[in-house]
Amino acid sequence: MQKTKIGVIGVSGRGYGLMSDVLLLMDDVEIAAVCDLYEDRIKAAAALVTEKTGIIPIGTADYREVLANPDVEAVVVSCDWEMHIPIAIAAMRAGKAVGMEVGGAYAVEDCWALVRAQEETGVPCMLLENCCYGRPELMVLNMVRQGVFGDIVHCAGGYCHDLRDEIAFGAENRHYRLRNYMNRNCENYPTHELGPIAKVLGIHSGNRMVSLTSTASKALGMEQFAAAKKPEDTALRGKKFMQGDIVTTVIRCALGETIVLTLDTTLPRSYSRGFRVRGTKGMYEEETNSIFIDGVHNDHDFEWRSQWDNAGSFRAQYEHPLWAEYEREGVKDGHGGIDWLVLRAFVESVRNKTTPPIDVYDAAAWMSITALSEQSIALGSAPVAIPDFTGGRWTQPRTPVDSAYWLG
């Protein structure tokens, strides 16, 4: 079997995990190169590849060496947020297909540059938004396309995850979130639920996002956490963080739907992506894992909340075909199996030379929300226009690809 040779750029926690839990388990993938700014990470990643495969990959601190290597066909960009787009652009210009990890953009112009690089080179770029392949997200997408919820009017979701420990110990762990939370105030991680919502609403397939407003609460969570957990850290003592504890972003779409995104990462809480879909015939709610259908459930009867996994449940009726097959084959590691699915989608698009299911226009639009939210917050929650990165092509349905991983 001819293997797709991949270079992994950024091999700290996320990049190393993608290698150990996913890429090194794929029979048709070879890790040909590993890259990081830190020598200990390079050595650990290279040793892992050699241990698992017997292959000694290229190890370098300069991503340009990975891109210059003729053996490397594609790259997975899993480094710090600031370098995602610059490295993706350089990779496309070097002829390497790009699988880019999630994160927000720092400037709208960066998103335009990403689109221009793809259009000029024809080299594919896929955003590795694993939540698009979540089991409930795909089941709800299947239900939406079968009209179960009627016409969709409103969606909500977010990144609700207590990251205080990760942020506070960013210096020790050489993690980029700390400097971002100290210096920026924005919806810094928009794509985890915006991605699935965009597919539900047909964004770039007859619809698009047109404007947003974003509002940030005061920032106290990290200041108090750092004072309690790291009282001797002079760099953090008394430091005022810029990042608001709760950021609420409201997006309006061309067809009139609304989206509410919530960033909630610096206060104590349980994990949630808060996925919610509201239509004229019913709703889905992730936090209670429940479905309500008009004419089937009574609004005062909370038995509707238990309709998920019972015999004859909605899952039995509407499980997405991809997950039905995944369950039969055996769900893999990596965030409950979704890392495997998103990377299989990427690898197969590279092998088959097909349009990836989360393309450069998706990446640009979804990542731009960070830069645009920063503008809106700075302007007192003023409305900000969202550019049309497709140049008008959003008005037409996407050309489908014959792939189990295609999202439309």
Domain end position, chosen among 104, 129, 154:
129
List the helix and strand counts (H, then E) for the chain. 15, 14
Task: Judge whether 277 lies within some domain.
Answer: yes
Domain end position, chosen among 94, 129, 164:
129
Contact indicator for 215, 379 with CB cutoff of 8 Å: no
Same domain, 189 and 277: yes
pLDDT at 386 (0 to 100): 98
Same domain, 214 and 246: yes
Task: Judge whether 346 lies within some domain.
Answer: no
Give the pLDDT mean for 98-115. 98
Q: How does pLDDT run across 43-95, given as a tens digit for each residue?
A: 999 999 999 999 999 999 999 999 999 999 999 999 999 999 999 999 999 99
**Residue 372: partners with Cβ closer than 8 Å, 6 or more residues away:** 108, 212, 214, 384, 386
- Could you list the residue range(s) of the whole structural domain that residue 223 is in? 132-330+359-395
Same domain, 220 and 273: yes
DSSP string covering 303-367: GGGG-SSSTT-HHHHH--HHHHHHHHH---SSGGGHHHHHHHHHHHHHHHT---SS-HHHHHHHH
pLDDT at 216 (0 to 100): 98
Same domain, 207 and 278: yes
Same domain, 273 and 213: yes
Closest residue by Cα to residue 5 from 21, 20, 23, 22: 23
Same domain, 202 and 75: no
The confidence band for 311, taking pLDDT boundaries of 50, 70 and 90, is very low
**Strands (DSSP E) along 197-280, which ranges?**
209-216, 246-253, 258-264, 276-279
pTM listed for this prediction? 0.96
Query: If you search the block for the tokens 């590993």, which residue do you land on?
Result: 34
- CATH code assigned at 248: 3.30.360.10
Task: Judge whether 368 lies within some domain.
Answer: yes
**Residue 352: partners with Cβ closer than 8 Å, 6 or more residues away:** 403
Same domain, 183 and 124: no
Q: Tell me the angle at which helices 360-378 and 108-121 cross, rounded to the nearest 10 degrees.
A: 170
Same domain, 111 and 75: yes
- CATH code assigned at 31: 3.40.50.720
Mean of per-residue pLDDT scores for the chain: 95
Task: Judge whether 404 lies within some domain.
Answer: no
Same domain, 174 and 49: no
Domain end position, chosen among 129, 154, 171:
129
Task: Judge whether 406 lies within some domain.
Answer: no
> Is the model's pLDDT at 306 over the cut of 80?
no
Contact indicator for 77, 10 with CB cutoff of 8 Å: yes
The confidence band for 1, taking pLDDT boundaries of 50, 70 and 90, is confident
Q: Which two tokens stand for residue 310?
A: 């019972």
The confidence band for 307, taking pLDDT boundaries of 50, 70 and 90, is low
Same domain, 67 and 143: no
Tally of domains within the chain = 2
Task: Judge whether 193 lies within some domain.
Answer: yes
Same domain, 168 and 311: yes
Task: Judge whether 218 lies within some domain.
Answer: yes
Same domain, 216 and 300: yes
Q: What are phi and psi of 58, to 5 degrees?
A: -65, 135
pLDDT > 90 in the chain, percent: 90
Task: Judge whether 353 lies within some domain.
Answer: no
